[in-house]
Amino acid sequence: MSITPEQQAEIDALREEQHETRRATVPAVEEVLYQPLQVLDHGFVRVVDYMGDDAAIVQAARVSYGRGTKRTRDDQGLINYLMRNAHTSPFEMCEIKLHVKLPIFVARQWIRHRMANVNEYSARYSVLDREFYIPRGEQLAIQSATNNQGRGTTGAGEQLALGSVPVPQAAPERRPGRRRKTRAEQIAEMQRAEATRVEAQRFQKPMTEDAQRSFDQYDRLLDDGLTRELARIGLPLSTYTQWYWKTDLHNLLHFLALRGDAHAQWEIQEYARVILDIVERWVPLTANAFHRYRVGGARLSAEGLSAVKRMLAGEEIDPAELEMSPREWRELKQTLGLP
């Protein structure tokens, strides 16, 4: 994460300020207010401002004059009900403003979520820093054979190894009560790690060199007097940009449900992971309901629900008889934990 001394001094000065207010504040968010939370190699997320808390959601739902009930259990129950039944407006009463530094290719996916206010760093007016994203070795993967927009994965979901370097297989991870690895197994593990590192460099090196050449050309064009708005157009999608992004809690949770999902690109998942940590600090009761009903829950089609009812009744299900695509049937079995 690249923060200059001047930027850090500005952040420190902001964190030293104290303001009296009658508004609701959340101590757990105040602890990280303005602080850059690292994401990827040069990126970060900062909480710049926020409005509301769990009590504000309860207050809005009840249209009350106070701050909701005095018992956390009652508030949690109401928030669970709102989340379970897909209510939206009470959650829209809370808002948060984030300062995000991210690669342009991640920003292009992010901006698809249109229910937000955005102001982005302008490369028409300012010169871009020489910062670009290079994936770590473990994130390099082959193209998926089944997903046209994703990395290849195994059944367990981990990244597929690149290349075909013939190295011995590593021994399984040791667990309590299992035998210690032999010297041969340890050597095989080291060989595999080294082969993976070398294979990763085969891809990282040209990616880095291409980005460096693009920035070299960018600098030359600027030095030769070309306007900034034109000099920038040859820079790679890995270049970092920054923006201020303000949204309400309902739309933020929708963003997290999609971009924190395992089907999203790993890089934007990392941003979603950090933002979810912020949400858990900010509105813990809502975060709890989100995990229970959105992340850990499932939505079924009418045909899927009918199939579940028949299975619970002890019927044998023939997928060919169902008005479901093979993909939907596979997803239903995966949701239910069936082979």
**Confidence band of 334 (pLDDT split at 50, 70, 90):** confident
Structure tokens of 173? 């991870």
By DSSP bridging, strand 117-120 and strand 95-103 are unpaired
Backbone angles phi, psi at 159, to 5 degrees: -70, 145
Distances (CA, A) of 321 to 38, 106, 329: 50, 42, 11
Compute the half-sphere exposure of residue 255: CA atoms within 13 Å on the CB side of its CA: 26
| Percent of the chain topping pLDDT 90 | 51
Q: Looking at per-residue confidence, does 174 or 337 come out higher? A: 337
Q: How far apart are CA 195 and CA 198, in angstroms?
A: 5
Domains by residue range for the chain, with CATH:
5-131+238-295 (3.30.1360.170), 137-234 (no CATH), 302-336 (no CATH)
* Closest of 114, 102, 90 to residue 43, by C-alpha: 102
Higher pLDDT, residue 315 or 107: 107
Backbone dihedral angles phi then psi of residue 66, each to the nearest 5 degrees: -100, -150
pLDDT digits (tens, 9 = 90+) for 178-219: 667 777 766 666 656 655 666 677 888 899 999 999 999 999
Predicted confidence (pLDDT) at residue 40 exceeds the cutoff of 90: yes
Helix, strand or coil, per DSSP, at residue 74: helix
Q: Does position 292 have pLDDT exceeding 80, yes or no?
A: yes
Q: What angle do CA 336, 337, 338 make, to 5 degrees?
A: 95
Q: Output the pLDDT for position 189.
A: 67
Encoded amino acid at 145, one letter: A
Q: Which pLDDT band, with edges at 50, 70 and 90, does 35 fall under?
A: very high
- Distance, in Å, from the CA atom of 271 to the CA atom of 296, rounded to the nearest integer, reads 20
Tens of pLDDT, residues 78-108: 999 999 999 999 999 999 999 999 999 999 9
Residue 241, pLDDT score: 95
Contact 36/57 with Cβ under 8 angstroms?
Answer: no
Active site residues: 259
pLDDT for 168:
40
Amino acid 137 reads G
pLDDT at 10: 84
HSE of 309 in the Cβ direction (CA atoms, 13 Å)?
Answer: 7
Among residues 225, 234, 250, 270, the alpha carbon closest in space to that of 42 is found at 270
Q: Tell me the residue type at 38.
A: Q
Decide if 264 contacts 258 (C-beta within 8 A). yes
Six-digit token string for 269: 């998942």
pLDDT of res. 223: 95
Residue 54 CA neighbour count, 13 Å, CB half? 29
pLDDT of 197 reads 62
Q: Which helix (H) or strand (E) holds 176?
A: none
* Alpha carbon distances (Å) from 131 to 113, 247, 335: 25, 27, 41
Residue 181, both tokens:
């690895």
Query: Given this model, what pLDDT does residue 282 score?
Result: 97
Cα–Cα distance for residue pair 67/25, rounded to 1 Å: 13
Chain mean position to CA 170: 30
SS3 267: helix
Q: Kindly provide the residue ranges of all beta strands, DSSP E only, lying in the chain, ordered along the sequence.
A: 37-39, 43-51, 95-103, 117-120, 240-248
Q: Which pair of tokens denotes residue 227? A: 């306007």
**Percentage of the residues of the chain whose pLDDT score is greater than 70:** 81
Tell me how far apart the alpha carbons of residues 46 and 126 are, in angstroms, rounded to a whole number.
21
Quick check: 228 and 126 in contact, CB under 8 A? Answer: yes
